[in-house]
Structure 1
Amino acid sequence: MPTHPRRRPIIRPMKTSRRSLLLAASAAAVTPSWAQTAAPAGQGYPNKPIRLVVPFPAGGATDIFARQVSKKLGERLGGNIVVDNKPGAGGAIGSDIAAKAPADGYTLLLATSSTHAIGPSYANNKLPYDVVADFTPIVHVGDAPNIMVVPTSAPVKNVKEWIEYARKNPGKLNYASSGNGTIVQLSAEYFKGLTGTYLVHIPYRGTALAMPDLVSGKVDVLFDSIASALPHVKDGRVKALGISSAKRSPLFPDLPPIAETVPGYVVNTWFGLYGPKGLPAELVNRINTAINQSLQDNDVKDRLARLGIEPVGGTPQQFAAMAEADRAKWKMIIADRKLTID
């Protein structure tokens, strides 16, 4: 493949190592007093607040999702859910904190495909925990697709035209992501592999930081979450070409699946609830039931729909099987694309 010079050097610095972040977090991760005094889970559960660890910053899609679900979950369980944001290292810091918590039902983790499928699939990503051995799967809570957005100045009207445009300009076009090892980057790399296109990766610290450069035309394409990108599409600042789900979204019914043009291209960010390893089966079943009931609530469905998230639910066994299949998929894609994580 020919080497082409990068155009429009707009790379954002991302120099802090994941290892340093994890070591710092391990030293600083002092468990809150209400979690230190955890009482054994049993008939009186819950008799104190339940900590829901969100391994991403406040205000992001995972955090918003957690706050929508946690209120109903607390009501179903008869207790209070406290969302505890522990961001850093692509979600590894918060996941590590949850993995090392007591298995008493008072610390839960809202994981995503980035933390428990993509991150562990990198050969050079040394995590301080095992995503299978150190966690107890509880329930697959929901799925969210990405949408493919381009500048309004892009000389294309659909996915097919964009692929033709990219093939005519190999190495001259770029794509933005929310960082190495994220679902946003992998969505683009998967697209590149299936379409035979060559795009330069421009990592940002979040898609919100990439969007202004997409609007101005400094970035050529972004596979952003539907909730994040939709406002910019509606006000005409960017163009949406396709959605990464297998079917159309009720939130954007006129947007065709990318798979209609690129067979096999289906990407979803999944959200799932885990406990530490050894979480008693009675608590797993109780929390699983409460989540499944909450997802049937019309208010919850409406709130999630506005975020572009489809509620899923199901059994712990179904959740574990889905996560394992997703890890296998991304491991193959990462190896095929020869990707590494910093």
Structure 2
Amino acid sequence: MQRRTFVGAGSAALAALAAGPAFAQKITGDVRFLCGFAPGGTADLLSRILAEAVGPEVGQKVIVDTKTGASGFIANETIANAPPDGRTIGLAAMAALCVAPVMPGQKLPINVDTDLTPIANVAGVYNMLVVGKHMQYRTVPEIIDFAKKNPGKLTYASAGNGTSQHLAGELFKKMAGVNILHVPYRGGAPAIQDMIAGNCDMMFGNMPEFLGQIGGGGLIPVAFGSPRPSPLFPNLPLISKFLPGFEVVNWFGVFGSKGLPADLTDLWNKALRAAVAKPEVQKRFVDSGMDTVIGSPAEFKTTIMADRKKWAEVIKEAGMRAD
């Protein structure tokens, strides 16, 4: 499927780009790379990997500028309002582009369709379903079977209403035809801790959030919600094996400011494609629980609109509202 192309480290197309593109247009001066998420998380790590790898491609120093708050929108607003000279770009998450605009009650400081310029979708984080070690149901068929026979008995945790974990849980309920109780927490860490304590049964989320507890035995991996399994868990099944069409990808993309010219947009797109093609970058992606998602700016726009439509339907059916 063209709009969602997961690319392995051996891709010939990426390898060709890694040789280093020649750009007619140039970036002059240091570049700010905005990240709206806290240090130490997946987005922060991805921002630093990209900044380090893409700098040589444009011949400039790329500096990560962290501006947390408002679910990433403080950084997004900074990108939007920067001069359209290509020297301010940044990372934005799927939730900001595809969930927030269609979430009832959500007020946004910018229009994400007109105030940001999509450059490239760069990484997808593997989505994983895990259960607490107290759970005796450890496969997707077992969970669905128990949930159908015992409506409302199972619980699933999330980092809060309207988060990617919440959306994945509601999509699962919709496609499986089951009633599982949603338990929202104020952040992913307390949700995971309550699962380990046996107070909540299951959770969908980004694989990197679970790796430490899986290794320690506190959480049990069940299946991947992403289109393919991570190389770290090659034998873990896909949820789509049991629920055809189930797919959750919490992707991150790079954006430029409002009115960024097409030649600068293309320059950054080619530079990012060359950056993520590097074997050392591919390895860091895999080790961090991420996969390469890459394409043209036009393909990125198609992904945004398709995912927005998908999640708008889930939000409406579940009756979600912003807190």
Q: Does TM-score exceed 0.5, indicating one fold?
A: yes
Cα distance in structure 2, aligned partners of 1:119 and 1:100: 19
CA contact (8 A) 2:170 2:318 kept: yes
Cα distance in structure 1, aligned partners of 2:169 and 2:275: 33
CA contact (8 A) 2:161 2:320 kept: no
Correspondence 1:172 to 2:153: yes
Q: Decide which of 280, 284, 290 is 2:265's aligned counterpart.
A: 284
Q: Which residue of structure 1 aligns with residue 304 of structure 2?
A: 323
> Offset of 1:228 from its aligned partner?
1.7
Report the secondary structure of 2:277's partner residue.
Answer: coil
Q: Decide which of 51, 69, 85 is 2:66's aligned counterpart.
A: 85
Q: Decide which of 213, 221, 227 is 2:208's aligned counterpart.
A: 227
Listed one character per residue, the Cα deviations across residues 112-153 of structure 1 (whole Å, up to 9, x for unaligned) are 111111111213212121111111111111112211111111
Correspondence 1:214 to 2:198: no
CA contact (8 A) 1:159 1:241 kept: yes
Q: Which residue of structure 2 aligns with residue 122 of structure 1?
A: 103
CA contact (8 A) 1:292 1:313 kept: yes
Q: Which residue of structure 2 aligns with residue 182 of structure 1?
A: 163
Cα distance in structure 1, aligned partners of 2:131 and 2:99: 25
Instruction: Report the AA paired with residue 275 of structure 1.
Output: G
What residue ranges of structure 2 are gaps of 5+ in the alignment?
1-22
Cα distance in structure 2, aligned partners of 1:322 and 1:217: 37
Q: Which residue of structure 1 aligns with residue 16 of structure 2?
A: none
CA contact (8 A) 2:91 2:253 kept: yes
Listed one character per residue, the Cα deviations across residues 217-276 of structure 1 (whole Å, up to 9, x for unaligned) are 111111121122123223322111110012222121011001111222110011111111
CA contact (8 A) 1:90 1:181 kept: no
CA contact (8 A) 1:177 1:223 kept: yes
Which structure has more RCO (C-alpha within 8 Å, separation ≥ 6)? 2
Q: Which residue of structure 1 aligns with residue 93 of structure 2?
A: 112
CA contact (8 A) 1:122 1:334 kept: yes
Q: CA RMSD in A?
A: 1.8
Cα distance in structure 2, aligned partners of 1:245 and 1:43: 37
> Offset of 1:45 from its aligned partner?
4.5
Q: Which residue of structure 2 aligns with residue 21 of structure 1?
A: none
Cα distance in structure 2, aligned partners of 1:167 and 1:54: 42
The TM-score with structure 2 as length reference comes to 0.88
Instruction: Report the AA paired with residue 31 of structure 2.
Output: I
> Offset of 1:322 from its aligned partner?
1.0
Report the secondary structure of 1:329's partner residue.
Answer: helix
The TM-score with structure 1 as length reference comes to 0.84
Greater than 3 Å deviation, 4+ residue runs = 42-47
Report the secondary structure of 1:250's partner residue.
Answer: coil
Instruction: Report the AA paired with residue 209 of structure 1.
Output: P
> Offset of 1:105 from its aligned partner?
1.2
Listed one character per residue, the Cα deviations across residues 151-185 of structure 1 (whole Å, up to 9, x for unaligned) are 11101130110122223332233221122222111
CA contact (8 A) 1:91 1:114 kept: no
Alpha-carbon spacing, 1:205–1:84, altered in 2? closer, same or farther (3 Å): farther
CA contact (8 A) 2:164 2:205 kept: no
